Amino acid sequence: MKYIKGLIYSLLILFASCKTGSPDRIADHCNINEYSDRFSIIQNEGFSIIRVMNPWQGAKDKYLDYYISDDPSTIPPGIDGSQIIIRPIASIVCTSTTHIAMVDTLGEIEILKGVSGTEFVYDEELRSRIEDGVVYDIGYENGYNTELIFSIKPDVVLVYGVSGESVPAFSRLSDMGITVLYIADYLEDHPLARIEWIKVFGELLGKQDIAERIFGSVCGEYMEIVEKVADGGRLKPDVLLGLPFNDKWFISPGNSYIAKLIEDAGGRYLWAESQSDVSIPMSLEAVCQRATKADIWLNAGVAKSIDDIRLVDPRLGDLQVTAEGSVFNNNRRLNTNGGNDYWESGIVNPHIILKDLAFIFNPDIFPGYELSYYTELRDHSDSSDKREYQE
Amino acid sequence: MNIKNNIKHNGVLFPRTYIYMVLGLSLVVLFIVDLLTGSVYISFGDIIRALSGKAETDIINILCSFRLPRALTALLAGMALSVSGLQMQTVFRNPLAGPYVLGISSGASLGVAILILGLSSVMSVHISMAFNSWAIVGSAWIGSGLVLVLIMIVSVRVRDIMTVLILGIMFASAVSALVSIMQYFSDESMLKSFVIWTMGSLGNLSWQQLHILIISIIAGLFISMLTTKKLNALLLGEDHARSLGLKIRTARILIFISTSILAGSVTAFCGPLAFIGIAVPHICRLIFATSSHNYLIAGTMMLGSIALLLSDIISQLPGNGRILPVNSVTALIGIPVLIWIIVRRNKFVRLS
């Protein structure tokens, strides 16, 4: 008897932790996330709640609830229209390229009616739809065209909150009754937590099972690579990240998503010990000093060759890692306007990015592998010097 | 000589030779301290050993490729901006004038904005161009040069200097409006790069670029030395100066050219460093208790360098390799100093 009582209490505690905004409703089922702690999907009788926790940078103990259902009559009364999503969804406007990748992975690309920065879209099918004029450009962070968004009449606008609620365009859209759903994928520190957001997209598009399956298979492949690296990774290279602007170098902290990828791929990030929610501005001198022992340089901004790096600052060319040509950038897949697929489909392919990195760090683990997102930067100056000399 | 000066300009605290000596000494000390500050610990002994080539290669490397260019840039930029600020305050007879009153920084901003925010989104094939340091310098220079040409045309045609000032401010506002539009429509990473540029920096010059900066600043300062007498005459007002036989237009154009070379080059290489050019001439007038350019030009040069070296040292203080934007530091340390001096003396030394 005592045992049963204990069980009931623990169940009650479990339910309490998943409780919705109003205390009178008890959740039927709360899906437990494996990696992400920024959202939860709470199943109720006839409807479910997508709860987005701390949806923007710097948010503390803040959450937003969205009620989603196939049948409007199941939604509890008194919920504001801007928090309700009724399936099936006919149109979505999204503000981040990662949203495009999520929707595309679930096979619903034609549902996208507006995106931010159409010229930077990599996805070919969406590109052709943009050229056909059926997908609109809704503008950038500081200049969203709310009138255009309103005229598209989307069922939901997917946004990411850099500056939080302060974006007036979003609150205006909410006021007009348009559901503005915050997707906080980019705030996640773990690559698999980012892809876990596909569950939210699955819920939106009524493709929960497919989303679960995709998430499961990506996690499986990711873990397989992590194990292979642990078994066969002989080298543990020191890794430098990023590119300075002027004499300032914004360093990704050690608790960032890319630092996690480097660690899982068998590298040693030079700033692994640093902890911060945002990138840390450091002087070029300090970074170059630590970078003298770097073996691999990754994500060198817009650089397409080692010559580009020298043009940014000749002192970067003096680094041993540059001189040895061990610089790899994530810009193998660029569209004609410079839109980078790394920031688009990369979100749903953390296992491929991880494999790229693992191959860069330890080429012998994956013999014959070809890089997908990364590319080795070449040094043209040697050859051009020789040519001049011959002439 | 000094005693005579003291009698003539009552209110001076010390003989001017002493002031020059103190300034010169502070300049040397701060220059050395600037060489010592940074993320890596370097001792005074290391610098001495580096001079004789006996220090470790790492230390020599840091000194030669980071610390020395940065300290020299601070030295030169401080001189250039302060002198051009002094000239502008005199020419426009306005205590609020500064090196950027002609719109030089707005012009440079426009050039850099077109490069970073405009070109990179339209012609993204050359996106890496936007981060090429020479391209940034070049576009800033072209931008400020174009503004200069406009100002020249106006100042040759317009007789009244106040009209030139107002037109200069109008140009600057129009240009800033264009830059705002570009900022509004640009994506975040580019915007951030541009904002970092507007914050100014002293540590991104390569030796090649430093050579160019040195040559331009020597040229600019040489022209301003030539204008000393003209500036002194202009203190009396343009009409008086004219009656003394000063060719106003030639004077104006010479002064504008020197200001543009000085402020334009510094802005091209370091970004807009705003406050120093307005504050230093005032502080200098107070210290020297004179408005005669015979003393002020050399004085502002030294004081400007001191101010910028000090700002650079402070901007490195957070430690751990973290740095503050030098532009903000200059304003934050400059404003209290200026306020303190004004409150103590209860007034500005008049421009004339």
Q: How many domains are there within chain A?
A: 2
The beta strand positions in chain B, using DSSP E, are none
- CB of A286 closer than 8 Å to CB of A270: no
**Which pLDDT value is given to residue B121?**
56
d(CA A378, CA A308): 10
The most confident of the ranges A1-5, A259-263, B51-55, B116-120 is: A259-263
A290 and A261 in a single domain? The answer is yes
Per-residue pLDDT, averaged over A292-317, amounts to 89
**In this structure, what token pair is assigned to residue A387?**
């040519």
pLDDT of A179 strictly over 80: yes
The pLDDT tens digits for B175-201 are 889 988 888 777 777 777 888 888 888
Nearest partner of B40 among B25, B23, B53, B55, judged by Cα: B55
Query: Poorest-confidence range of A10-19, A341-350, B178-187?
Result: A10-19
Torsions phi, psi for A158 (to 5 deg):
-95, 125
CA distances from B150 to B89, B145, B177, B270 (A): 20, 9, 17, 23
Is there a domain that residue A355 lies in? yes
Residues of chain A with C-beta less than 8 angstroms from the C-beta of B128: 302-304, 308, 311
d(CA B285, CA A233): 68
Largest CA distance in chain A: 95
Per the model's pLDDT, the better-predicted residue between A191 and B238 turns out to be: A191
d(CA B15, CA B343): 23
Q: State whether B40 and A289 contact (CB < 8 Å).
A: yes
Q: How close B89 gets to chain A, by Cα (Å)? A: 31
* Test the B interface: residue of A159, A252, A285, A308 with most B CBs within 10 Å: A285
The most confident of the ranges A19-33, A148-162, A318-332, B8-22 is: A318-332
A250 and A340 in a single domain? The answer is yes
d(CA A13, CA A27): 12
Q: How close A264 gets to chain B, by Cα (Å)? A: 27
**Which pLDDT value is given to residue B122?**
52
pLDDT of A237 strictly over 80: yes
Q: How close A309 gets to chain B, by Cα (Å)? A: 8
**Which pLDDT value is given to residue B128?**
56
Q: State whether A302 and B121 contact (CB < 8 Å).
A: no
**Which pLDDT value is given to residue B333?**
81
The CATH number corresponding to B2-285+293-345 among 1.10.3470.10, 3.40.1190.20, 3.40.50.11540, 3.20.110.10 equals 1.10.3470.10
Q: How close B324 gets to chain A, by Cα (Å)? A: 9
Residue whose tokens read 């494999």: A355
Q: State whether A285 and B271 contact (CB < 8 Å).
A: no
A353 and A310 in a single domain? The answer is yes
SS3 assignment, position B134 = helix
A288 and A165 in a single domain? The answer is no
d(CA A225, CA A227): 5
**Which pLDDT value is given to residue A327?**
95
**Nearest chain B residue (CA) to A138:** B185
What letter represents residue B330's amino acid?
Answer: T
SS3 assignment, position A56 = strand
CA distances from A119 to A107, A164, B116 (A): 22, 25, 17
Name the band, by pLDDT with cuts 50, 70 and 90, for residue B346: low
Query: If you average pLDDT over every residue of chain B, what do you get?
Result: 83
**Which pLDDT value is given to residue A25?**
43
Q: State whether B127 and A302 contact (CB < 8 Å).
A: yes
Is there a domain that residue A225 lies in? no
- Find residue A41's DSSP bridge partners: A50
Which residues are within 8 A (CB) of B162 and not within 5 positions of it... i.e. 6 or more apart? B92
Residues of chain A with C-beta less than 8 angstroms from the C-beta of B203: 246-247, 283-285
A166 and A312 in a single domain? The answer is no
d(CA A298, CA A327): 6
- CB of B15 closer than 8 Å to CB of B6: yes
* Test the A interface: residue of B121, B131, B212, B328 with most A CBs within 10 Å: B131
Name the band, by pLDDT with cuts 50, 70 and 90, for residue B7: very low
Per-residue pLDDT, averaged over B246-264, amounts to 88
Q: State whether B203 and A318 contact (CB < 8 Å).
A: no
Is there a domain that residue A304 lies in? yes
Q: State whether B204 and A313 contact (CB < 8 Å).
A: yes
pLDDT of B276 strictly over 60: yes
Which residues are within 8 A (CB) of B345 and not within 5 positions of it... i.e. 6 or more apart? B286
pLDDT of A381 strictly over 80: no
Closest CB to A338 among B40, B124, B133: B124
pLDDT of A388 strictly over 60: no
Name the band, by pLDDT with cuts 50, 70 and 90, for residue B108: confident
**Which pLDDT value is given to residue B155?**
81
b (16+ CB within 10 A) / e for B240-262: ebeeeebebeebbebbbbbbbbb
**In this structure, what token pair is assigned to residue A231?**
């078994």
Nearest partner of B223 among B248, B251, B265, judged by Cα: B251
**CB neighbours (10 Å) of residue A208?**
17
Interface of A with B (CB under 8 A): 117, 119-120, 139-143, 162, 243, 245-248, 280-289, 292, 301-304, 308, 311-315, 318, 336-338
**Which pLDDT value is given to residue B246?**
86
Per-residue pLDDT, averaged over A69-84, amounts to 90
**Which pLDDT value is given to residue B306?**
95
- Between A and B, how many CB-CB pairs are < 8 A? 112
* Test the B interface: residue of A251, A302, A342 with most B CBs within 10 Å: A302
d(CA A321, CA A316): 9
Per the model's pLDDT, the better-predicted residue between A289 and A30 turns out to be: A289
The residue count of chain B comes to 352
Interface of B with A (CB under 8 A): 38-40, 58, 61-62, 65-67, 70, 120-121, 124-125, 127-128, 130-134, 183-188, 191, 193, 196-197, 201-204, 206, 208, 271, 316, 320-323
Closest CB to B40 among A120, A285, A301: A285
A239 and A284 in a single domain? The answer is yes
Residues of chain A with C-beta less than 8 angstroms from the C-beta of B191: 142
> Which domain does A148 fall in, by range?
15-215
Whole-structure pTM value? 0.79
Nearest partner of B114 among B89, B86, B80, B138, judged by Cα: B138
d(CA A47, CA A31): 14
Name the band, by pLDDT with cuts 50, 70 and 90, for residue B119: low
A188 and A252 in a single domain? The answer is no
What letter represents residue A292's amino acid?
Answer: T
Per-residue pLDDT, averaged over A41-50, amounts to 91
pLDDT of A156 strictly over 90: yes
Per-residue pLDDT, averaged over A306-332, amounts to 90
Name the band, by pLDDT with cuts 50, 70 and 90, for residue A374: very high
Query: If you average pLDDT over every residue of chain A, what do you get?
Result: 86
Q: How close A303 gets to chain B, by Cα (Å)? A: 6
Query: Poorest-confidence range of A86-90, A381-385, B45-49?
Result: A381-385
Q: Are strands A136-137 and A248-251 parallel, antiparallel or unpaired?
A: unpaired
d(CA B112, CA B271): 9
A238 and A143 in a single domain? The answer is no
**Which pLDDT value is given to residue A164?**
58
Is there a domain that residue A5 lies in? no
- CB of B246 closer than 8 Å to CB of B230: yes
Residue where a domain terminates, one of A215, A247, A277: A215
Residues of chain B with pLDDT > 70: what percent?
A: 89
pLDDT of B125 strictly over 90: no
A210 and A237 in a single domain? The answer is no
Q: State whether A285 and B185 contact (CB < 8 Å).
A: no
Is there a domain that residue A63 lies in? yes
A109 and A251 in a single domain? The answer is no
Q: How close B136 gets to chain A, by Cα (Å)? A: 10
What letter represents residue B346's amino acid?
Answer: N
**Nearest chain B residue (CA) to A144:** B185
What letter represents residue B280's amino acid?
Answer: V
* Test the B interface: residue of A243, A247, A318 with most B CBs within 10 Å: A247
Which residues are within 8 A (CB) of B69 and not within 5 positions of it... i.e. 6 or more apart? B203, B205, B206, B207, B210
The most confident of the ranges A196-200, B5-9, B203-207 is: A196-200
A207 and A328 in a single domain? The answer is no
Per-residue pLDDT, averaged over B10-24, amounts to 79
Torsions phi, psi for A94 (to 5 deg):
-130, 155
Is there a domain that residue A8 lies in? no
Chain-centroid distance of CA A239 in Å reads 21
d(CA A346, CA A97): 10
Count of helices and strands (H, E) across chain B = 17, 0
> What's the burial of B140, exposed, middle or buried (CB within 10 Å: 0-12/13-18/19+)?
buried
Residue whose tokens read 């210290």: B287
Q: State whether A284 and B40 contact (CB < 8 Å).
A: no
Q: State whether A337 and B124 contact (CB < 8 Å).
A: yes
A34 and A146 in a single domain? The answer is yes
Per-residue pLDDT, averaged over B104-108, amounts to 86
Q: State whether B58 and A117 contact (CB < 8 Å).
A: no
- CB of A107 closer than 8 Å to CB of A100: no
Query: Poorest-confidence range of A110-124, A160-174, A210-224, B178-192?
Result: A160-174
Residues of chain A with C-beta less than 8 angstroms from the C-beta of B56: none
Q: State whether A247 and B70 contact (CB < 8 Å).
A: yes
Is there a domain that residue A164 lies in? yes
Query: Poorest-confidence range of A296-310, B184-198, B226-240?
Result: B184-198
Nearest partner of B309 among B99, B60, B24, B95, judged by Cα: B24
pLDDT of A30 strictly over 80: no
**Nearest chain B residue (CA) to A163:** B188
Task: Identify the CATH number of the domain in which residue A60 sits.
Answer: 3.40.50.1980
What letter represents residue A343's amino acid?
Answer: W
